[in-house]
Amino acid sequence: MERIVQVEIIGLGELGYRKPDVIEAFATRDGLLTTATFPTRKEHEMLSHFSNYWSGVEKSEVPAIGVIKGTPHQFPVFVRGEQGTFAGGGLIRTAAAFKRLTQSGRPVVVRPWVDILCAGRRSNVRLELRVHVVAGCAVAVEYLFPPWASQRPTEKELQSGQAWMESRRVEAAQYAERIATVINCRWFVADFAETADGMRLIELNPGWCSGIASADAVRAVHSAILDKIFQIQTDEK
């Protein structure tokens, strides 16, 4: 028998007593997640904290921007929090600045400072891409700086970024799927950047609250969720 599904897109404030199976694009409303939703609360907790998934990334042996364990001895370094960057984090140039930053006792993640190559002359439009992974399969790969990004990439920068992304598409998808074999999460994104030493993984993020730059990627991700997670066939290509 053919399955029929009703898809309704509404604001979180309008959920009321509804209990949806799929929750997407929430930020602080992770209280909506249960063991029955997609994603589950367990999947969210794994991807929302860097240290929860990084050992899996290391196990996968995918080329990545690494982590400095303990006190760094060489500077500059990049400092972020367990849940992304924070005020005062980012590029840290000296041991004294690092000491001041860590005196609060806040858990931090310390990484080497790596120059990410640019799509043009401007340093804030970089060569970065995002792989969307659903049920272990890379279903979309896209350049991370769409025309409407705050950096307002020029047409030349967009063309350069898109061309680079296409040249790395297969490799990035393979890396992301390798990570999926050791990460117990059915929907995540893997962000990669081009460095002087080649393409490197930056981080993972929950797929359900990560940006999707293109309409084609939106269709591919949502079609994969219906098909691979809920076994509902769609006409999306």
Q: Count other C-beta atoms under 10 Å from residue 156's C-beta.
A: 11
Kindly report, as residue ranges, where domains of CATH 3.30.470.20 are found in the chain: 41-64+116-229
Q: Count other C-beta atoms under 10 Å from residue 34's C-beta.
A: 11
In CATH, what number does 41-64+116-229 get?
A: 3.30.470.20
CB-CB contact of 110 with 177 (8 Å) = no
* pLDDT at residue number 231: 84
* pLDDT at residue number 51: 94
Mean pLDDT in consecutive groups of 10 residues from the start of the chain, 237 residues: 54 64 56 81 91 96 96 95 87 95 88 96 96 97 92 96 98 98 95 98 91 84 88 67
Q: Count other C-beta atoms under 10 Å from residue 18's C-beta.
A: 9
Q: What is the rounded distance in angstroms from the CA atom of residue 204 to the CA atom of residue 200?
A: 12
- Global pTM? 0.88
* pLDDT at residue number 7: 56
* pLDDT at residue number 1: 47
Over the stretch 112-130, which tens digit does the pLDDT of each residue have?
999 999 999 999 999 999 9
Over the stretch 85-108, which tens digit does the pLDDT of each residue have?
888 889 999 999 999 998 888 889
* pLDDT at residue number 153: 95
* pLDDT at residue number 29: 65
Over the stretch 162-181, which tens digit does the pLDDT of each residue have?
999 999 999 999 999 999 99
Q: Which of 186, 215, 171, 167 is nearest to 63 (CA)?
A: 171
Q: Which of 234, 178, 187 is nearest to 209 (CA)?
A: 187
CB-CB contact of 116 with 128 (8 Å) = yes
Q: What is the rounded distance in angstroms from the CA atom of residue 37 to the CA atom of residue 34?
A: 5
* pLDDT at residue number 166: 98
Mean pLDDT of the chain: 88
CB-CB contact of 139 with 221 (8 Å) = yes
190: left (phi over 0), alpha (psi -120 to 50) or beta: beta
* pLDDT at residue number 85: 82
* pLDDT at residue number 3: 53
Number of H helices, E strands in the chain: 5, 7
Distance of CA 220 to the CA centre of its chain: 16
Q: Which of 122, 130, 125, 227 is nearest to 176 (CA)?
A: 130
* pLDDT at residue number 88: 83
